[in-house]
Structure 1
Amino acid sequence: MSLYLCVDCGGSKTNAVISDADGKILGRALGGPSNFAYLTLDEFTAAVTEAVSNALKTCTSPPSNDPVALPPVGDSPFAAAWFGISGVDSPSAIAEITPALSTLLGIPAGPRLTVANDTHLLAAPVRMYPEISHAVAVIAGTGSIAVTFRENKGELEELGRIGGWGWILGDEGGGFNVGREAVRQILFEHDKATVTQKPLESTLTTAVMQRFGITDIMEILTIIHLPYPPTESQLTQDVPDYVLIPREKRLSSLSPLVFKAAFEDGDALALRILRACARSLAADIAVLLDDGNNTTPRAVKAQDSVISFGGSLAGIETYRQMILDDLAERGHVFRYVKFIDDAAAVGAAGLAAAHRTIGNGQA
């Protein structure tokens, strides 16, 4: 079978897409979270297996209810596969994952099996514009990362990167950062009011207190710092749902409340929070760019590049524009701006196209 598989592995879900040799999407399915930085190899492989198996089922019409064997018995159904994996940031991580994926798909390690960071899937738009050769790929979802690329003889060469360090160390502009900044700003306003006696009225503060079922905002400190995993006794009790989720998700789960308060309610505090988060991500991106004084050949000129966004937060146009506006204030205006809402589909079609080119002797 000439099937081409692309799997976008992120912090909230696994997106598997299968195309034919002409790039037509034949099947797709979602699986659970698969950020490799937060999972064991077995947990990561299980999430990928679920998504790919279910995607294979949808390749028939009507979709087959019969389980698809992975690893395959005999030849692999895939001519090639491309994995873009969040949390894969080093050659050692790639080396650890590749044998498991090779076994799972029945594809030998080598040119038919590509394993890279998920930002690589976003660099594809550079091939749409023959007059440029550089791309800046930015992911703002649960976490964040920015990577620059140069197209070189049909290959994407990674130039520089910043971020992708995870919630403890970074993820500026991502969902965790938004949730953390929301709590910080709410607490700051509360503490400031102890002096001014003028509490700030905010629909966001009300929504956060309702989310955690509290009547005093200072109670949020106990909730945020509550240890995880829950004890055995807690698991057998009727406890609030935030007890049962990791601490970082208690914060990242607040992100939708911030966006709603900002863009639906016009809440001043929520808008301030999002501008601060957009500014921190823009500052990271600017490190990779040529500001006119940067003479390194690995710095990218915005005016000669495409910036390609991915991730759930970057998919919100108003927030994406906040990031672009901050970059413009720093002197970085991009020639092209793209948002890719389905990186796995773009990757599957691109993978098929690349192999058609090789088959035609054009590579």
Structure 2
Amino acid sequence: MSLYLCADCGGSKTSVVICDAQGKVVGRALGGPSNFAYLSLDAFLSAVEEAVTSALKIAASSLPSANLAILPPPGETPFAAAWFGVSGVDSPAAIATITPELSKLLKIPAGPRLAIANDTHLLAAPVRQHGDISHAVAVISGTGSIAVSFRETETGLEELGRIGGWGWMLGDEGGGFSVGRETIRHILLEHDKSSVTGEKVKSVLQDRVLARFGVTDVMELLTIIHIQDPQSGVVLPQSAPLHLSQRREKRLSDLCPLVFTAAFEDGDPLALTILKSAAAQLTEEIAVLLGDGSGRTVKPQDAVISFGGSLAGIEAYRQIILDGLAQMGHVFRYVSFVDDAAATGATGLVAAHVKP
């Protein structure tokens, strides 16, 4: 049995898709977060094993095989190849750390059958759908953010440059944490301005943020945002506010739905300003990769920009990013959104490994 597995490992979830040799999806499943930069090796492997096992169970229902859903496989591996796109895997050392563990888990030897790279590599696939270009810029805006440029060569995708992907403490501009941070910053800034002008801020978003944290004074947000992370093993009472059980970065990134709803459904000016501010930070990073095509720069007119991630999946937000790039003179020939990177990767594996 020859199965082809692709895992999209991100900060919010692990998405696994398994295809057969004909490129048909026979199993798919979701697991918990698997950003390698945020987790221990054991926690990362646990999330991957959970998602892969669940996908194998589904595959077993259409492809009956003894012990198909057991990892590591007790006999010969059913996997012909696997591709892992892992958020937080940004160095050869990180790849070297997880490669033997994933090899052991799937019983695939390290080498060409087991591809491990940053999750942006999964988004570069659309370059192969257009015969008139050979360059792609992959942009992830989800829990975190990163932009990577690629060139299609005879031997596969060559990474040209990258910007971002540094995690919430150092970057992730235009991602979930960035939007949450900008939300609190703008609410505090407007409050500070009103102390001078005497003009009260009227904002649907501000009201909802205050209500979410159970406060009525904007300045109380400072205390809530800076409360230390919950201690391991400490059980809070059921009546405790949600934010007390959240890590600080999660308190901020979880504000995203409030911001997007206020901006695009309620037309709240403050919410729209916040999204434009966050998007502008990501736009400036993407622009670092662009140029006239000389050296390792990408000429947008001869390339595809491919988006992924939950925030980039919202068309209105994606358009803000594209509009910002256009104002800089960067207009791409093609624009793509990959809403199922794991499936794209799995079918790509089949195309690369199965002779027609």
Find the residue that maps to 2:200 and give its secondary structure.
coil
8 Å CA contact 1:57, 1:63 repeated in 2: no
8 Å CA contact 2:56, 2:68 repeated in 1: no
Q: Which amino acid aligns with 1:307?
A: I
Find the residue that maps to 2:266 and give its secondary structure.
coil
* Equivalent residue runs for 1:128-167 within 5 Å: 128-167=129-168
Kindly state the Cα deviation for residue 307 of structure 1 after the two structures are TM-superposed. Answer: 0.4
* Equivalent residue runs for 1:31-180 within 5 Å: 31-61=31-61, 68-180=69-181
Aligned residues: 355
For the pair 1:355 / 2:356, whether they are aligned, the reply is no
Q: Distance in 1 between the 2:189 and 2:63 partners? A: 53
CA offsets 1:58-113 (integer angstroms, 9 cap, x no match): 1134799x882101111111000000000000000000010110000010100100
Q: Distance in 2 between the 1:233 and 1:252 partners? A: 23
Q: Distance in 2 between the 1:319 and 1:53 partners? A: 35
Q: Distance in 1 between the 2:232 and 2:41 partners? A: 25
Kindly state the Cα deviation for residue 200 of structure 1 after the two structures are TM-superposed. Answer: 1.4
Q: Which amino acid aligns with 1:48?
A: V
For the pair 1:228 / 2:229, whether they are aligned, the reply is yes
- Structure 2 partner of 1:11: 11
- Structure 2 partner of 1:276: 277
Kindly state the Cα deviation for residue 316 of structure 1 after the two structures are TM-superposed. Answer: 0.3
Find the residue that maps to 1:36 and give its secondary structure.
coil
Find the residue that maps to 2:74 and give its secondary structure.
coil
8 Å CA contact 2:136, 2:303 repeated in 1: yes
Q: Which amino acid aligns with 1:217?
A: V
Q: Which amino acid aligns with 2:263?
A: A
1:324 corresponds to which of 289, 312, 322: 322
Cα RMSD of the aligned pairs, angstroms, is 1.7
Q: Distance in 1 between the 2:63 and 2:214 partners? A: 43
* Equivalent residue runs for 1:247-258 within 5 Å: 247-258=248-259
* Equivalent residue runs for 1:191-230 within 5 Å: 191-230=192-231
Kindly state the Cα deviation for residue 231 of structure 1 after the two structures are TM-superposed. Answer: 7.1
Find the residue that maps to 1:59 and give its secondary structure.
helix
Q: Distance in 2 between the 1:209 and 1:103 partners? A: 49
Kindly state the Cα deviation for residue 22 of structure 1 after the two structures are TM-superposed. Answer: 1.4
- What is the TM-score with the length of structure 2 in the denominator? 0.97
Kindly state the Cα deviation for residue 236 of structure 1 after the two structures are TM-superposed. Answer: 5.1
8 Å CA contact 1:230, 1:243 repeated in 2: no
- Structure 1 partner of 2:304: 306
Q: Distance in 2 between the 1:146 and 1:62 partners? A: 38
Q: Distance in 2 between the 1:233 and 1:314 partners? A: 36
8 Å CA contact 1:173, 1:277 repeated in 2: yes
- Segments of structure 2 that go 5 or more residues without pairing to the other structure are none
Find the residue that maps to 1:195 and give its secondary structure.
helix
* Structure 1 residue ranges (4+ consecutive) displaced by more than 2 angstroms after TM superposition: 60-64, 229-238
- Structure 2 partner of 1:26: 26
- Structure 2 partner of 1:335: 333
Q: Which amino acid aligns with 2:301?
A: Q
Q: Distance in 1 between the 2:164 and 2:21 partners? A: 35
Q: Distance in 1 between the 2:203 and 2:280 partners? A: 22
Pick closer, same or farther for the CA change 1:244–1:335 going to 2, 3 Å.
Answer: same
Q: Distance in 2 between the 1:355 and 1:63 partners? A: 20
- Segments of structure 1 that go 5 or more residues without pairing to the other structure are none
Q: Which amino acid aligns with 1:163?
A: G
8 Å CA contact 2:26, 2:62 repeated in 1: no
Find the residue that maps to 2:307 and give its secondary structure.
strand
Q: Which amino acid aligns with 1:82?
A: W
Work out the percentage of aligned pairs sharing the same amino acid.
67
Pick closer, same or farther for the CA change 1:76–1:203 going to 2, 3 Å.
Answer: same
Q: Which amino acid aligns with 1:19?
A: C
Q: Distance in 1 between the 2:229 and 2:137 partners? A: 37
CA offsets 1:149-177 (integer angstroms, 9 cap, x no match): 00010400000000000000000000000
Kindly state the Cα deviation for residue 238 of structure 1 after the two structures are TM-superposed. Answer: 3.7
Q: Which amino acid aligns with 1:164?
A: G
Q: Distance in 2 between the 1:112 and 1:156 partners? A: 16
Q: Distance in 2 between the 1:231 and 1:47 partners? A: 19
Pick closer, same or farther for the CA change 1:63–1:47 going to 2, 3 Å.
Answer: farther
Q: Which amino acid aligns with 2:188?
A: L
Q: Which amino acid aligns with 1:167?
A: W
Q: Which amino acid aligns with 1:52?
A: V
- Structure 2 partner of 1:259: 260
CA offsets 1:242-272 (integer angstroms, 9 cap, x no match): 1111100000000110000000000000000
8 Å CA contact 1:16, 1:30 repeated in 2: yes
Q: Distance in 1 between the 2:266 and 2:104 partners? A: 51
CA offsets 1:118-154 (integer angstroms, 9 cap, x no match): 0000001111111110000000000000000000104
Pick closer, same or farther for the CA change 1:14–1:307 going to 2, 3 Å.
Answer: same
8 Å CA contact 1:121, 1:343 repeated in 2: yes
